[in-house]
Amino acid sequence: MARRVDAHEGLDDVPVFPPSTGGLRGPEAGGGETVYSSLREFVTLLEERGRLRRITVPVSAELEITEITDRVSKGPQEQNVALLFENVTGYAMPVLTNAFGSAERMAWALGVSELDELGQRLQGLISLDMPGSFADKLRKAGDLFGTFRATQPHRVKHGACQEVVETTHPSLAELPVLKCWPADGGPYITLPAVITRRPGSGKRNVGMYRLQVFDETTLGMHWQIHKGGAEHQEAAREVGLERIPVAVAIGGDPAITWSASAPLPSDIDELLLAGWLRGRPVDLVPCVSQPLEVPADADIVIEGYVDPGERRIEGPFGDHTGYYSLADEYPVMHVTAITRRESPIYPATLVGRPPMEDYWMGKVTERLFLPLIRMVQSEVVDVNMPAEGVFHNLVIVSIKKRYPGQARKVMYGLWGMGLMMLSKAFLIVDADVDVHDLSEVAWRVSNNVDWRRDVVIVDGPVDALDHASDRPNYGGKIGVDATRKGPLDGHDRPWPDDIEMSAEIQALVTGRWAEYGF
Ligand SMILES: Cc1cc2nc3c(=O)[nH]c(=O)nc-3n(C[C@H](O)[C@H](O)[C@H](O)COP(=O)(O)O)c2cc1C
Ligand SMILES: [Mn+2]
């Protein structure tokens, strides 16, 4: 079974999620011990638990907040807290950073006490065998029904996100958008939920794509070619639409914010996932200037459209790879309205050399998607995408091997599964290897691999952020079969055992430890 993620923080000490504001309970809820009705509520919880610091002195939105956040997020554990900058020079709104920057805070944001709970609950939900009595089966069917109901977004008439509405002169200048790194092309909105609908079917997509502020009403739309928003834009171009409506929700329930970063198959609405995580549907209100709906509890909503024929240079941007992503042509969003709460909080994330906050956002994806990977590739035991690998650069997978070529089958299968297609390196190890222990992985791989026999090199799509490939979005990838080899693999030499002391001697030495003078 999957092992626990090393949380680096005393997750065991974390109390079970307390104050409940309603919502479904029980196995049908994903996280769902509570539902935040605002980002402010999450901030309050972080503060009550001693994991938020308010900074009251004036600070600049240009670079200063980055440097503070970077130090805090890489600093000692007790210093790694969420930061609420209450006095950002030139702006009325407070800025929240590093709110998801640890396993603990990321789990709290999704209403669980540790990240592995989410995968376990999903595993429970999708387990196809339904043992037990007829009554058990009925209950399970009821759970599924409850889940279905909880996941469907729900239209409401009024939303806090429209307490203040500006349609005549909307201006991005009122938002404390951060300039993150010195060579950045400008200020960037970094934690948005970008909402579009596929022209024709109307299916919704919610993606987290950074937005460069060009001027008061124009944004760079950094949806990369592989992503849902770009797919919708392409569909609009195909049918000759001149504008594709876009809404950008900032803040609100952190479960919704996180869901925007989840790599769901295209045409599956990320708000369904958010509803499941919350155990309660996401409330939506109609936009004021576009034919879209937005989460009612968002702090700020930017409405507008993208013209599928228009492109403009976006970037550079100090990115989560730890390098600047280079300037390139991207679509442009024109703002038609800005709505907001009366007293919004502006949340932002800073990315840069890992580990930073986005590592923890990615960890949730890794934990949550493991049961889904296992549905299709049942030999997979566990997966680790280490911080240094920045999601797609290095993926370690442990498998239970039964037949020749199985490690290769797993790589090829994963290279064809959603955004796993972007993986640059797979290390496949045996089931008994702890994929989260990088020292063990390095030891096993370097011992067990014959570099001529056990390596496959293929070409395929790579991340838009990859700067090593000869051309954008396409490059070479490696898969390494680091499992132990035997007759199955046509390996006729004996394979050595691991070295382990006998249990008797271990017990003897433990018993006599003090006697040795230690
Ligand atoms: C903090 C953060 C920033 C991100 N910025 C971008 C971005 O600018 N462009 C992009 O295409 N993906 C970005 N991503 C990754 C996407 O959010 C992710 O691939 C997600 O699956 C996109 O949604 P989609 O699958 O519906 O397209 C970012 C992720 C995080 C956590
Ligand atoms: Mn999507």
Q: Whole-angstrom Cα distance, residue 216 to residue 227?
A: 26
Give the residue whose CA is nearest to atom 25 of ligand 1.
263
Residue 194 Cα to ligand 1 midpoint, Å, equals 10
Catalytic residues: 319
pLDDT in tens, 405-442: 999 999 999 999 999 999 999 999 999 999 999 999 99
pLDDT-based confidence at residue 131 (cuts at 50, 70, 90): low
Closest ligand 1 atom to Cα of 191: 1
Residue 267 Cα to ligand 2 midpoint, Å, equals 6
Residue 157 Cα to ligand 1 midpoint, Å, equals 30
Give the residue whose CA is nearest to atom 23 of ligand 1.
207
pLDDT-based confidence at residue 124 (cuts at 50, 70, 90): confident
User: Which contacts (CB < 8 Å, 24+ apart) does range 395-398 have?
Assistant: 395/420, 395/423, 395/425, 395/426, 395/427, 396/426, 396/427, 396/429, 396/435, 396/441, 397/426, 397/427, 397/428, 397/429, 397/435, 398/428, 398/429, 398/430, 398/431, 398/432, 398/433, 398/435
| Whether the predicted pLDDT of 480 surpasses 50 | yes
| Whether the predicted pLDDT of 16 surpasses 70 | no
pLDDT of res. 2: 39
| Ligand 1 neighbourhood includes 204 CB (under 6 angstroms) | no
Q: Using only C-alpha atoms, what is the Rg of the chain?
A: 24
Mean model confidence pLDDT for the chain: 91
pLDDT of res. 135: 73
Ligand having the closest approach to the CA of 226: 1
Q: Whole-angstrom Cα distance, residue 377 to residue 380?
A: 6
Q: What are phi and psi of 53, to 5 degrees?
A: -120, 130
* Residue 335 contacts residue 304 (beta carbons within 8 Å): yes
Least reliable range by pLDDT among 128-142, 252-266, 318-332: 128-142
Q: Does the CA dihedral 202-203-204-205 come out positive or negative?
A: negative
Q: Whole-angstrom Cα distance, residue 365 to residue 419?
A: 11
Q: Whole-angstrom Cα distance, residue 4 to residue 120?
A: 11
Ligand having the closest approach to the CA of 193: 1
Mean pLDDT of 210-237: 97
Q: Among 208, 233, 369, 372, which residue has the most ligand 1 atoms within 8 Å of its CB, making it the best to mutate?
A: 208
Closest CA to 464 of 223, 260, 288: 223
Q: Among 261, 264, 271, 364, which residue has the most ligand 1 atoms within 8 Å of its CB, making it the best to mutate?
A: 261
Least reliable range by pLDDT among 23-37, 59-73, 339-353: 23-37
Mean pLDDT of 132-158: 78
3-class secondary structure, 231: helix
Closest ligand 1 atom to Cα of 205: 26
pLDDT in tens, 291-309: 999 999 999 999 999 999 9
Q: Whole-angstrom Cα distance, residue 353 to residue 253?
A: 27
pLDDT in tens, 374-412: 999 999 999 999 999 999 999 999 999 999 999 999 999
pLDDT of res. 51: 98
| Ligand 1 neighbourhood includes 361 CB (under 6 angstroms) | yes
pTM for the model: 0.91
Residue 207 Cα to ligand 1 midpoint, Å, equals 6
Residue 192 Cα to ligand 2 midpoint, Å, equals 14
Mean pLDDT of 269-296: 96
| Ligand 1 neighbourhood includes 358 CB (under 6 angstroms) | yes
Residue 297 Cα to ligand 2 midpoint, Å, equals 21
Q: Whole-angstrom Cα distance, residue 22 to residue 453?
A: 57
Q: How many CB atoms lie within 10 A of CB 448?
A: 18
Q: Give residues with Cβ within 8 angstroms of 277, minimum separation 6.
A: 30, 31, 32, 110, 111, 118, 255, 258, 259
> Residues lining ligand 2 (ion), CB within 5 A?
205, 228, 264
pLDDT of res. 139: 72
Closest CA to 275 of 6, 23, 15: 23
Ligand having the closest approach to the CA of 209: 1
Q: Whole-angstrom Cα distance, residue 287 to residue 300?
A: 12
Better pLDDT: 250 or 136 = 250
Closest ligand 1 atom to Cα of 358: 31
Ligand having the closest approach to the CA of 361: 1
Query: Which DSSP letter does residue 267 get?
Result: T
Q: Give residues with Cβ within 8 angstroms of 141, minimum separation 6.
A: none
| Ligand 1 neighbourhood includes 223 CB (under 6 angstroms) | yes
pLDDT in tens, 160-181: 999 999 999 999 999 999 999 9
Reading phi first (left if > 0) and then psi (alpha if -120 to 50, else beta), residue 250 is in beta
Q: 245-274 burial, b for 16+ CB within 10 Å, e for fewer?
A: bbbbbbbbbbbbbbbbbbbbeeeebbbbbb
Does the N-terminal peptide bond of residue 254 adopt cis geometry, omega within 30 degrees of 0? no
| Ligand 1 neighbourhood includes 192 CB (under 6 angstroms) | no
Residue 9 Cα to ligand 2 midpoint, Å, equals 31
